[in-house]
Structure 1
Amino acid sequence: MKNVLLIKEIYIEAFRNLGHAFVKSYFRAFSWFCIASYIIMLYAFAFRVSTGFAFD
């Protein structure tokens, strides 16, 4: 739980004094896109490992 709170605090601090509202919303959307892409990549890797895919 401590790690989740630390990540939340880092996320909030990163966008605190960023500047223009458009820039803030763009970077916020981009960060969520990156997090979603990373989760999809982890899921795909776990699926391949669990089904016995041969990594040659």
Structure 2
Amino acid sequence: MLSLPELPVLLLDNNCDFGLIAHETPIRSTQDAEQYFDLARAVPTHVVRLNRILAFIV
């Protein structure tokens, strides 16, 4: 499993277009997210690691 500091390195090494948004506390639930985002406009996204592939499920 990649650590958070390793993620941008992997993405840059693979010429990925990405952006990371830092938050003061982890977002692990909808309740956590509501302090940062308008939940009416938000889409749940899950990141899954399959061997050396990261998949984003929206």
TM-score of the superposed pair, with normalisation by structure 2? 0.25
Task: Return the structure number with greater strand share.
Answer: 2
Normalising by structure 1, we get a TM-score of 0.25
Larger helix percent: 1
